[in-house]
Amino acid sequence: MGGESRLNSLGTHLLVEFYDCDKKILNDEVRIEQVFIEAAKKAKATVVEQVFHRFSPHGVSGVVVISESHLAVHTWPEYGYAAVDVFTCGTEIDPWVAQEFIREALHATNSTAIEMKRGTLQLPYGQLTHKPLDTIEKK
Averages of pLDDT over runs of 10 residues in the chain (139 residues) are 53 97 98 98 96 97 97 98 95 93 98 94 63 51
Walk me through the domains of the chain, giving residue ranges and CATH numbers: 9-121 (3.60.90.10)
**What's the confidence (pLDDT) of residue 124?**
62
Q: Nearest-CA neighbor of 93 among 71, 108, 110, 72?
A: 71
Which residue numbers are catalytic?
69, 74, 89
**What's the confidence (pLDDT) of residue 123?**
64
DSSP label at residue 20: S
**What's the confidence (pLDDT) of residue 3?**
39
pTM of the entire predicted model: 0.84
**What's the confidence (pLDDT) of residue 139?**
47
**What's the confidence (pLDDT) of residue 90?**
82
**What's the confidence (pLDDT) of residue 126?**
56
